[in-house]
Structure 1
Amino acid sequence: METLFTWLWPAVSVLLAILLLWALRRRPQATARPQPSQLVEMEDALKELYKLQRNETFVEAGALAQAMGISVEMAEHLMETLVAFAWAEGNASAGIRLTTRGQERAQELIRVHRLWERYLVDREGMSLDAVHVEAHRREHETSPDEAAKLDAELGHPAWCPHGYAIPDPGRRVPPPAGVPLATCTPGARLRILDVDDEPPALLAQLVAMGLKPGAEVEVIECRPGHLRVQINGNIFPLAVAAAKRIHAVPAPVLPVPLGELPVSSRAVVTEVKGGGKQQRRMLDMGLVPGAEVTVIRTAPLGDPVEYRIKGTAIAMRRSDANSILVEEVRNG
C-alpha cells in the first residue's frame, strides 16, 4: 500500500499542477493585449472619447455611439473593454472618462494620424480626400520611435493637410480653432482653417467646391437647413450639416506683424508664419488663428515683449512675434 501511495502521489501532483495552469490561462487578464482587430476598435473609441471629453467630464454610451456610428450596445462593450484595459475609469451605465494612460495613448494616435496624412499628401501626392483611410491604417501600426523618425523627416510640421494642429509628443491636442462655418452670418468674409476628414465622400465634394484650408469664402445667405456661399466667384448651396464640419476665422483685411503693435493693443491672430518647431512652439502657447492677444508691456530695452493670450502672460522676442500676423481689434 505504501509503495502504491509513493507512486501515485507524484502523478496526482503533476495532474493538479496542470489543472491549475489551465485554469489560470483561461482566466481573463485585464491588461492582456487584445487581438489586432479589437485593438483598432478600442483605439478608435479612445480617440473619440478624447474629443468628447473636451466638453464633458464623463462620456455616456449614447454619445460615444453617435460619434462612432455604432449601436449603444457596441459602445457599452467598448467602454467596458477600455476600463478593463486601464485606459478609462467609470462604468458603461453611468459614463467613463479617460485615465492619464488613456489620454496619452489617444494623443499619440491623433498625432501620428495627422503626421501620416501630411506625409501622404506631401510625399506620395495623395489627394486630400483620399488620405484618411490609409493614415488610419498606418497610425495603429506605428511605434513611438517610427513616429519620431517620421516627424523629423517631415520637418516637424505643425498642421495636417486638413488644417488640424500636430502637437509635439506628449502634448495636448488642441481643439479646432475658429468657429463652425454654419454659425456665421450673411455677409461674413472668412478664411477656412480646417475641414473634417470624415466622411470621405463629403470631403471630396467640399474639396471639389474649393472649400479647403486657406481658401477664402463669403456667406451669401443663411436658410433653415442650408447656406449659400461664394468662393472663387462661384456660389454654391451648402448643407448646414456639412458647414458644421468646416472651421473658419474672419478673413484678414490689413494683417500686420504682432511685434509692431504698441502696448495695450488687442488683436486677433490671422496666420502663423515659419514652419516646423517654430510653429509648434507658437501652437503650444495658444497662438493659433482666431486667438485674441493683448500687448501688455515691453522690456526696458524694447525686447522682449509681454503678451496675454487666453489669460496667460507670455514673453516673446520681437523677431518671433513678427512671425505672427494679426489684425488689430479697434476699441469701440
Structure 2
Amino acid sequence: MPRALFDEIHERVTQFDEYFLQKKDALGVPGFTSLQKVVCAVRMLTSGDSAHELDDKFRLAESTAIENLHRFCNAIIGWKAGWPGCIGSLDCMHVKWKNCPSAWAGMFTGKEHEPTVVIEAIADHECRIWHFFCGCPGSLNDLNVLDRSPVLNSQITGEMPTVLYSVGQNEYSVPYYLVDGIYPGIHCFMSTISNPSSRAQKLFATKQEAKRKDIERAFGILQHRFHILTIPMKLWHRDALCVVVKTCVILHNLIIDYERKHSIDSTYTEGSEYVPEHPFVIVPAKDEELSADAKLVNMSRIHNRSMHARLKEDLVEHLWSMFGGADDSS
C-alpha cells in the first residue's frame, strides 16, 4: 500500500470515528495513538496475524486489538459505502471460517470439506471489484448464491444504471457478465461455447475464457494483499467476518484507484476522480421507484434467452472480424 494512500486512510478513519484519536485516562496518561491503532488493524488484515500475536509489537491487549479491528472496518465501510454496477466477470470465492458454530458446520461445509463463507464478486479488466456479496454458507453453489444475491435484483428495480452499447448492427441495453458454464443462458450472462463447431466459435470460446480470468486475478490479488483471507477466520460471528472481508475489498479498490491515478501513463489531472473507461454509454438510474409493470419488463428483458442467443452470435462475428486474421496467421 503506498504511503500517501495510507496517510489518507489514517486521516479519514480518524475523522470518521473519535475512537482512533489519542486520549488521556483519568490519571492524565496518554493512551494509544491513532497511528498505532490504524497500523495494528491494517497489519491484521494484510498479514493475517491474530490479535494475540500483535500484543508484543503494538502493546495492545488481545481484546483491544479485536475491538480496534472492528472499529477500523466500520470506519472504512462508512467512508466508502457501495459500488456502482459495471460489466465484468462474475464468480465466487470461499473464505474459511474456523470458529463456525458446531450447529452450523454441516450447512457451511461444502467442497472444501471445512466450514466456509461464500463471496460473490464482479471484477473488471483492472481487477477492480464493482459488486460484492458475502455471507452465504459454503455448501451453496454459484447458482444458489446468485438466487440470494442483489446483482440481478438491482437491474430489475432500476437501481443499476442502464448500459447502452452496440455489437455489429444491433444495439443492446442490458449489461452482461462473463461467467462459467453453471450460469443460465439468459441475456445478462455470457458463458463460453463448450463444443464449438466452427473456427469463429472456437475463437470466441478462447477469448471468453481468457477474459473471464479477470475475476480470478482479482481474487488472487485480494488474497495476496490481505492474508487474513487465506487463513481460517477466527471470528465468532458471520456478520463480523463479512465486515472484515468487505473492508479488504474496499481497501483493494482504493489501492487500484490510487495506482491507476498515479501511474506513469495516467492522463488524469491532479485531484481528478478516477473514472473507468468502457466501450459503452452509462445512463444514470432514476431516483424514483419503478412501478410493478416496469419491474416485470426489466425482468423479462434480463431473462430473455433469445436475446442472449442473438448477442452471442453477434459477439462471435464481432470477435472473428477483429481477431480472425490474427488467428489465421498464428
Q: Which has the higher helix share?
A: 2
Q: Larger relative contact order (C-alpha < 8 A, sep ≥ 6)? A: 2
Q: Which has the higher strand share?
A: 1
TM range, smaller chain: under 0.3
TM (norm. structure 1) is 0.23
